[in-house]
Amino acid sequence: MDRQLELELIERCLQGFETKTTTSGPHGRSDAHRYCCSERFELEMDRVIRRLPFPVVHSSDIRDTNAFRRVDTQLGQLVTTRDETGQSHLFFNSCRHRGTTLVTEDFELGEGIQRSLASGAIKDIHYGCNEWSLKAFNDNLDRLCGLAPV
């Protein structure tokens, strides 16, 4: 950066700090209707969220085999997992047939499910309402709990 420009910018910052002002342009107002209108929300969901991919987690959040993580998104709560082949999966965080929330916090399963964790990965799931016990979280989770892929 040009030394003279750098000094001018520093001087402008110091003046703004001393006078408690800013060099930002004029501000505007937005109608609150833009933020609480259900029709506008659905339109944005259809035109942006459901049409275009958006990041849910960083790949390092589920880098280990059988790792999983709960995330809150515009679509609701989701569970992202990584299977034994390295493939990632994304599910809604609820049982399709009972509506039970499955993952209540990161690395903790919800009602009726006991867990066995190793390095942030699940080894075995026991789902109480059906008395099933299945290995390989990712391959069997949909059959086990009725999760719907996103």
In a domain, 54, yes or no: no
In a domain, 52, yes or no: no
Amino acid identity, residue 92? F
Q: Work out the pLDDT band at 104, boundaries 50, 70, 90.
A: low
In a domain, 124, yes or no: yes
User: b vs e for 37-73, b when ≥16 Cβ sit within 10 Å of the residue's Cβ?
Assistant: eeeeeeeeeeeeeeeeeeebeeeebbeebbbbbbbee
Four-CA torsion 97, 103, 104, 106, nearest 10 degrees? -170
Number of domains in the chain: 1
Q: Please provide the average confidence, as pLDDT, over all residues in the chain.
A: 71
Give pTM, 2 decimals. 0.48
Mean pLDDT of 140-149: 51
DSSP conformational letter for 62: G
Q: What confidence tens digit (pLDDT) does each residue in 116-135 have? A: 332 244 544 444 444 333 34
Cα–Cα distance for residue pair 107/69, rounded to 1 Å = 7
Q: Work out the pLDDT band at 86, boundaries 50, 70, 90.
A: confident
pLDDT at site 136? 41
Residues in the chain, total: 150
Q: What confidence tens digit (pLDDT) does each residue in 47-64 have? A: 887 787 778 888 888 888
Name the residue range of residue 129's domain.
Answer: 60-145
Is the pLDDT at 21 greater than 60, yes or no? yes
In a domain, 40, yes or no: no
pLDDT at site 10? 92
Cα–Cα distance for residue pair 84/80, rounded to 1 Å = 14
Structure-model confidence comparison of residues 126 and 105, the more confident one = 105
In a domain, 1, yes or no: no
Structure-model confidence comparison of residues 85 and 11, the more confident one = 11
In a domain, 113, yes or no: yes
In a domain, 104, yes or no: yes
Q: Work out the pLDDT band at 24, boundaries 50, 70, 90.
A: confident
Q: Work out the pLDDT band at 18, boundaries 50, 70, 90.
A: very high
Residues 6+ apart with CB under 8 A from 69: 57, 61, 62, 79, 80, 81, 106, 107
